[in-house]
Every structure is written in structure tokens, then in C-alpha cells.
Structure 1
């Protein structure tokens, strides 16, 4: 399948989302993988993970890059050789990528009721405006998780805690945007957040 969605939040930034409907062979056919990437694919036990990995390479192609243009640091943060900032995510049958001149982060998650079981592990300040009995509770929790995951990827600092260091300002699902902060080592960092929902999934991305 071609791209599911393209979003351009500003003149320096682009988001692309891929719906993974192709088979492993269909995804592999047009790609030229580096030896390292080929070895990673071969070592994956789950075809779902293989297809997710390959869909990210298709997203790279959609941005005009090749697999060899992407590399990772020791902490697993991705970089592009031309100096552009990049963040990558995939969940089940969706993957997404954001490329920008500024530091960015992105996350996609499937909306599932079981997120409420682990809510205490990643929300703190947000308890003040969340309503556990509300019909949209799971949706809002998923948005908050995606926000904090995107901040974690953007900030790329070992020891950063979703619960202790990241907070999302109150939002409505209709607004599709909010502000989030990282409060780490006595410094506060403000980020603009955009989010969207599709086919039972949530995607959020953070812009610095």
C-alpha cells in the first residue's frame, strides 16, 4: 500500500504514516538494504517485526532517503547523514516517521483498554484533569503515552522518566494539539504537541 497519510506541520517538518498491508516479500522486493539491516531482518523471529522494520525503509524512500542514509547512536537514537532530524515509530500495522530541521519525536500506539492498568506508571500531573469514568479515558491515556514517548525519543537522555520528568498540559481530543514539558535536572523544556487518531490508533509528535 502507498503512504497512508502525509502531514506538514510547518515548512521545516514532515510526517509520513504507512499502513503495513503488504507481505514480507512485497516489502522486500524494491528495497536495497545495508548488510547490517539485512542481518537485523534475518534475525527477527516475528514476521510482524520484519514487516514493521521494512515499512520504515519504505518511509525513508518516501522522504528521498535510502537505508544507508540512516544510522543510530549507542542509545538507539536514529540520525540521517545529511544532518536532518528524524524520529521513527511502529505499532502493529502502522509505522510513522518525522523528518525536520529541528529536534523532533514521534510515537504511534494502538488504543487498548489495558493501558489503564499501567497508567500509574506514566501519569502524575495528568491525574488532575483525567476522569477515569469518562468514555474517552483510554483514548486520552493513549495520547498521553504517545506524547511522553515522543518526548523521550526527542530528549534522548538516559534516566528520563515518563512520570517524573514529562507532563502534558490539559487537552481535548477535538483540539488535536497541546503543550508538553520536560522538567529535568532543574531545567524546563517546552514542546508543541500535535496528535491524531485513525483506525483505533493514536499518533503524537513533539516539535521543539
Structure 2
């Protein structure tokens, strides 16, 4: 079972990361999916997305849940029937789930040069301290994206602007944490976000 990493963030919060090495068939075979989940995975055109979807169900099992315990609200935010908070992410051959008594968000992204092309869409304030000539520029952009995406999932407010409402203060990659702010409707919310790197990927998780 390729459970890649377990992080106990605090007494109320655990992160589990899965490295997806199995085939679609091997991931599907032991699972029992509810009808709408089965319809959803069978309707996916990408095997990569199918494997990501199924690996998340294996992570649920690692937490002691099943697909039956998971449901989504009208905004696509996942919830657990027992009231615990959950956030889900997958990118290429990694997936992750965070479960907590607290409000949480998580994101994984592969570090790719193409993120520099879209940086202007999600970077605002952060351009003040980023340096395109920095050897770690792509890694820092990826970390900022992951931080903002994890906050977006935590805040669960459709239309929240990554560029205008989410701000990540300067950080070093070896810090493995940073402070970020959500500035929304004249209120400012401060969060400490944790992040880590592995095998060319970045993962960040936010806890309220």
C-alpha cells in the first residue's frame, strides 16, 4: 500500500499522502463505491484523473472511512458524515487528504516551468519579493499557488480572488511554513500555512 507519508499536524489534524503507483484496475478492485462515485469515475476521460480519484478513496480507508462517509455540497466542497472537516487534493501521481476537527484546506502541485506563464493571474503582492532569476523561482511560485489554493479551499467562498484577496508573506523554502492573509470584505484573516516538497511536488495545508 503506497501510503507515502503521514503528518500529524496537531492533536486534531492529520495529513496522509498517497503515491499513486497502482493501475486503475488495481485501485478499483478492492473498493466499494456508492453509485454516484462510480458514475463519476467511469465518466472521467483521463486515466490519471481516475487513478487520483480512486487513490483518495484508499486514503479515506487509511483514515478509517469509506466512500460512503464522503459527500460534497453544492459548491463542490467535501464533507464527512461524522462532522469532521476534510480537504482533498491530487496532482499527477500524488494525492492527499487532511482531516481535522478544525477547518482545513490542502493542495498538491507538480513543480513545472509553465506556472511562470500564469503567475500574473494569481500573484499580486508577492511580486514585490519574488526574483525571476532566483534558482528556486518555480518552486516558490508553486509553493505560493499551493498556499493560496489551500486557503481557498479552507475559506470556501466562491469567487475569492487569488491575486487580490490572498497574500503570502516572504518565506524561504526551507522554512516549511509561512504566514498568509485573506483580505475579504474589509476583514483580514491571518493563517500559518505549512508546506513541504517531495519528488518534484509541493504540498501545502492550512488549518484555521
TM-score (norm 1): 0.99
Q: Give every structure 1 segment of 4 or more consecutive aligned residues whose post-TM-superposition deviation is greater than 6 Å.
A: none
Any conservation in 1 of the 2:85–2:99 contact (CA below 8 Å)?
yes
Aligned mates of 1:43, 1:127 — CA distance in 2: 40
CA offset at residue 110 of structure 1?
Answer: 0.3
Aligned mates of 1:104, 1:28 — CA distance in 2: 28
CA offset at residue 2 of structure 1?
Answer: 2.4
Aligned position for 2:142: 142
Aligned position for 2:166: 166
Aligned mates of 1:185, 1:108 — CA distance in 2: 28
Unaligned regions of 5+ residues in structure 2, if any?
none
Aligned position for 1:156: 156
Map 1:50-65 → 2, pairs under 5 A? 50-65=50-65
- 1:137-160, CA deviations, whole angstroms, 9 ceiling, x for partnerless residues? 000000000000001111110120
Aligned position for 1:123: 123
Aligned position for 2:79: 79
Aligned position for 1:111: 111
CA offset at residue 191 of structure 1?
Answer: 1.1
SS at match of 1:193: strand
Aligned mates of 2:104, 2:44 — CA distance in 1: 28
Any conservation in 1 of the 2:80–2:86 contact (CA below 8 Å)?
yes
Aligned mates of 1:169, 1:183 — CA distance in 2: 13
RMSD between aligned residues = 0.7
Map 1:181-200 → 2, pairs under 5 A? 181-200=181-200
CA offset at residue 105 of structure 1?
Answer: 0.3
Aligned mates of 1:205, 1:8 — CA distance in 2: 12
Aligned position for 1:202: 202
Aligned position for 1:91: 91
- 1:119-169, CA deviations, whole angstroms, 9 ceiling, x for partnerless residues? 111111111111111000000000000000001111110120000000111
CA offset at residue 45 of structure 1?
Answer: 1.2
Aligned position for 2:179: 179
Unaligned regions of 5+ residues in structure 1, if any?
none
SS at match of 2:39: helix
Is residue 69 from structure 1 mapped to residue 69 from structure 2 by the alignment?
yes
TM-score (norm 2): 0.99
Q: Kindly tell me the number of residue pairs found equivalent between the two proteins.
A: 208
SS at match of 1:75: coil
SS at match of 2:175: coil
- 1:83-105, CA deviations, whole angstroms, 9 ceiling, x for partnerless residues? 00000000000000100110000
Aligned mates of 1:47, 1:141 — CA distance in 2: 27
Aligned mates of 1:190, 1:67 — CA distance in 2: 33
